[in-house]
Structure 1
């Protein structure tokens, strides 16, 4: 923070005579003009020896010009500071200090210049440190890490909004005000990439991230530091571009893995048995999914979508076909296809009549597992040899071989009808 008039007076042992001495000193200027205000910018500590009489209205003009304080040198034109000046400074709340002759004006200028240089160096150091911290966050944690680290540095709130204005990542989200109007102005400002304003005492920055399609960084803080915000925005543009590249590579990898499964080649990380789902939107990465030929295909035990019957890795191609057939038929699962087909009355009774209840249940489980012996035997709690014997018994009763896909389909349809 810049040095205040009180701190300066304490540093150089200058007596404080009147007014507000808590304001920071932006510069020091010595003058003996009766009206120096045309040469001032505001924020100055004005030094004078009172060589010429200070006429009425002198202090008021200084206040209007934004002067933060007046240093009156004694021991030259005046032995003491005129009481009228002290009274005027007190009335106008202008900080007034006495500068004894043994304290040269140049010492005050040097002290302020040194303090300003130290403050600027501290600000540059802080910005540099923040840039390094934000860069580390981008490398280690990506987009979300940059947002969190920025929020910590500015001690405020930060939100990354997508192109639709929806929050993607946020720090201190409960503090974020309604920015709808400001975002709309930024969007329609004819190429404007950023905006800065004050809202309820908080400095707010809006920064479009490269192409506006990438979103907007919104920051609110009581300690504005545009340099840090700009650094964060640049890192976010890079991180988002990297994320897009990585996401595209992952999509290609998953599509390639799914094509391997279609070809009968196994991959790691899948459950033993699952269903093939056709979903409307890509899920998160807690389940395997791939975008293939316009479909979002999900391999999972349960999911919201059109599903095949249960398969293992060797049956993914069949499961994919089943899910597509179920979608074309307008049903939720491949098993529901049986209920949607039109079959003659008495079909199930006629086909299943030679089979007892145990054999019917055996065939239902076995066909559910697509003729796989071990999983079907496990579900029924019998040895696979027992299961084989029961299936042979069914073939003998039906007088037909269950190696026939047509018979399996008829039995599946009949068993499903029977259970309705």
Structure 2
């Protein structure tokens, strides 16, 4: 950061011939400008920080040297330059004494040095400072932009493709901290600190929780500045994946140029995340389209696109893992991001589910990172060739449905199938099916005190053999024949059909025991 010219540095310019008269005064004061005036009170026309030049008329008019110098000191002037060789051959003792008591630096300006020469030196120094600020600001903006680009897109996926990086925000914060010699952090909507530079800066968020909440929850875009001892903390809202707050602090106040750089960092971060979100959305749509093609028309080239973009598919059988559960749709993007950090296989969002196609031995490597999303369930298919991906997806869906019903994090289709047909059907669906199929028999038995349901159960259990079933029921086989004929008429079904018998047996079993849950 450029440092303004000081009185000591001005006096060091030998071409000006300046002499320091009050050596005990503060000569390290920044010198904002040079102004000449012979008024007895020039302070209404001064901002403070100037070196005031006089030939001696002002100090000896009005209130005299004591009052004149006192007004200048109280107004915050950088110093008083007294020109000799014009009205006075040397600086009057009264002026020297007054400056000494007020602590106002006093310089002697020789006759050979025109006041304009001092103005030109200070003007040139200010111009150099401003140019240096422009260069510094431009370099800083380039550094922040380069950091965002380097982190936002990282090179070289397979076959010359690109993959989105995740380090852009951290790189921008590191560059901002370096340029401002400050500490920087971002607090998100959950009061977490996902990024900080240096890392130790994350601890500062707790002490600024109230200010962070005020900035984040403000309906408009507002900036807050907080004094921290001799330093300063600046808080600005920034839009990342959600509302967040950029916090920048250091042990010295920030200049207007510094504040501009902080604002530029906010813009870079917002644009970078907006671009990443757009790229991510396009990538998710491409993944979904490719997976839909693999499921519906395998062998039509989608496999090659997947191989060129995300790496070759497994050589052997694959497994489909379906992630979802009640209300999981909004969390699909977060789950995809998690799986994208090194999890094997191909992942895509389809119909409010995240589907992963992995090698049969890579399932655990997909389930492990997904386990961090505690409210998401997973269903795992049996191994299948790529040509039978649709079947594997159906198995994964059924396993996922069972995981959701049983409130279990993972259910594998192999375990589910081992539990019988009842385990594959939702309890409510099975009960509704049983009630619909057996309804006519149940109503008949209730109204006429019949025994058609029990007779049908025993007859099916004996594989349609009349004598064993009749013996079990304690009736004559002709009575049983009459009951089964009545049941067939009420059901309007052909009881000689194996499919009908299977449906009836499932309905009876469901009514008696209910499916496993």
TM-score by length of 2: 0.60
Q: Which residue of 2 aligns with 1:284?
A: 339
Whole-Å separation in 2 of the counterparts to 1:289 and 1:64 = 71
Q: 1:85 aligns with which of 83, 87, 95?
A: 95
Q: 2:399 aligns with which of 323, 326, 331?
A: 326
Contact in 2 for aligned 1:6/1:21 (Cα 8 Å) = yes
Q: Does 1:249 align with 2:282?
A: yes
Whole-Å separation in 1 of the counterparts to 2:92 and 2:151 = 64
Q: 1:7 aligns with which of 9, 12, 19?
A: 9
**Structure 1: where are the runs of 5+ without partners?**
344-405, 407-420
Contact in 2 for aligned 1:157/1:173 (Cα 8 Å) = no
- 1:298–1:342 distance in 2 versus 1, CA, 3 Å: closer
Q: 2:147 aligns with which of 113, 131, 137?
A: 137
Q: Which residue of 2 aligns with 1:261?
A: 294
Aligned length: 344
Whole-Å separation in 2 of the counterparts to 1:237 and 1:10 = 48
Q: Does 1:174 align with 2:200?
A: yes
Contact in 2 for aligned 1:158/1:173 (Cα 8 Å) = no
Q: Which residue of 2 aligns with 1:307?
A: 380
Whole-Å separation in 2 of the counterparts to 1:212 and 1:35 = 58
CA displacement 1:185-242 (0-9 Å, x = unmatched): 2234442333334334333333334699453333334454123223322222222221
Whole-Å separation in 2 of the counterparts to 1:159 and 1:211 = 13
Q: Does 1:271 align with 2:314?
A: yes
Deviation at 1:67, TM superposition (A): 0.7
Q: Which residue of 1 aligns with 2:53?
A: 47
Deviation at 1:41, TM superposition (A): 1.1
Whole-Å separation in 2 of the counterparts to 1:90 and 1:308 = 90
Q: Which residue of 1 aligns with 2:390?
A: 317
Contact in 2 for aligned 1:163/1:212 (Cα 8 Å) = no
TM-score by length of 1: 0.73
Whole-Å separation in 1 of the counterparts to 2:214 and 2:9 = 43
CA displacement 1:347-404 (0-9 Å, x = unmatched): xxxxxxxxxxxxxxxxxxxxxxxxxxxxxxxxxxxxxxxxxxxxxxxxxxxxxxxxxx
Contact in 1 for aligned 2:84/2:110 (Cα 8 Å) = yes
Q: Which residue of 2 aligns with 1:201?
A: 230
- 1:63–1:309 distance in 2 versus 1, CA, 3 Å: farther
Higher fraction of helix: 2
Contact in 1 for aligned 2:184/2:201 (Cα 8 Å) = no
Deviation at 1:248, TM superposition (A): 0.3
- 1:95–1:171 distance in 2 versus 1, CA, 3 Å: same
The structure having more radius of gyration, on CA atoms, is: 2
CA displacement 1:266-316 (0-9 Å, x = unmatched): 342333444322335332312332111011122342114332233443343
Instruction: Give the 3-state SS of the residue equivalent to 1:158 in structure 2.
Output: strand
- Pairwise mapping of residues 254-403 of structure 1 onto structure 2 (< 5 A)? 254-263=287-296, 264-265=298-299, 266=303, 267-268=306-307, 269=311, 270-272=313-315, 273-279=317-323, 281-282=335-336, 283-285=338-340, 286-287=342-343, 288-300=346-358, 301=362, 302=364, 303=367, 304=371, 305-329=378-402, 330=406, 332-338=411-417, 340-341=419-420
Q: Does 1:61 align with 2:61?
A: no
